[in-house]
Amino acid sequence: MNNFAFFATVKTHYWQTLAKLEPLLDLFGLGAFKFYSSKNQLDRILRKLRILFFCILPGLVISPMTYAESVIPEANPNAHNSITILQVQDYQKNKQLLIDSESVFNLPPKVIEAIHHEIALSFKIQIELTEKTNLLGFNYQRTRNLISYNTDIYAYGVNRTYALYNNRNQKAESFRTIDEALTTLATLQAFPIASLSELHPEQMYTLRMRISLDFWKLPAPLLLEALLAPSVWQLDSQWYETTLQTPLSWQ
């Protein structure tokens, strides 16, 4: 399937959904919307549109109506483990707290197909370092460091070369296969979290990490599909959490 056919299929789903709303538009008196010119008339129509929106939104998301079967793509049965963080290890070097992490990507076929059609997908990596303190019998938690950045994966060229672009350090890297690109995307090595001088001896710290597909950056037709089929496009590892104790030797 070429790029034109791929987008044509997605747009067909979009217009099929709108076609189902035409009777509701007529019911609310919106069929002749384009013929209104007065400001008062337009204000009345906009109010009706807002009411219509809140009436039909729940049905678009959860209704089991028959028409949805032709619009919503087949759900991915493995969506819960499409992205899995296997481990996060912390250590110190050159007075810095560093981590190594290993994850696994098991992307749904529709997501792989989008990459093959040269659509760039952006994955968000989030890392949080929080500090827990007990003050006068109350547990107090504050964020010591918060890191969030995106890495894009895309394909290009006749021979289909895959590439990663790290928006944090503006570095790009090319690969011959998508598996090589995903393995690199899923791996962090010697990733700096904080300076040891900012951490306190004998203090408890929690490190959390999360990887997700930033579906809001998808092209408009695919964004609509992502909202209608979250199990296919809203991929999320959920938070991986580990507790570490800062050794006295770090200070």
The string of DSSP letters for 28-52 reads: TT-TTGGG--SHHHHHHHHHHHHHH
| First CA to last CA distance, the chain | 59
CA distance 185 to 104: 9
pLDDT on residue 213: 96
185 φ, ψ to 5°?
A: -60, -35
In the three-class reduction of DSSP (H, G, I as helix; E, B as strand; rest coil), residue 172 is classed as strand
178 φ, ψ to 5°?
A: -70, -30
> Which alpha helices (DSSP H) does the chain contain, by range?
3-20, 22-27, 39-62, 109-116, 178-185, 220-228, 230-233
Give me the amino acid identity at 115: I
Q: What is the DSSP letter of 116?
A: H
pLDDT on residue 180: 97
pTM reported for the whole predicted model? 0.67
Asked if residues 154 and 121 have their Cβ atoms less than 8 Å apart, the reply is yes
pLDDT on residue 137: 72
Asked if residues 30 and 53 have their Cβ atoms less than 8 Å apart, the reply is no
Instruction: Spell out, as residue ranges, where the chain has pLDDT lower than 70.
Output: 1-80, 245-251
Structure tokens at 95: 């007075």
pLDDT on residue 138: 76
C-alpha separations of 79 from 36, 108, 141, 164, 185 in Å = 46, 8, 32, 23, 18
CA distance 85 to 75: 22
CA distance 211 to 213: 7
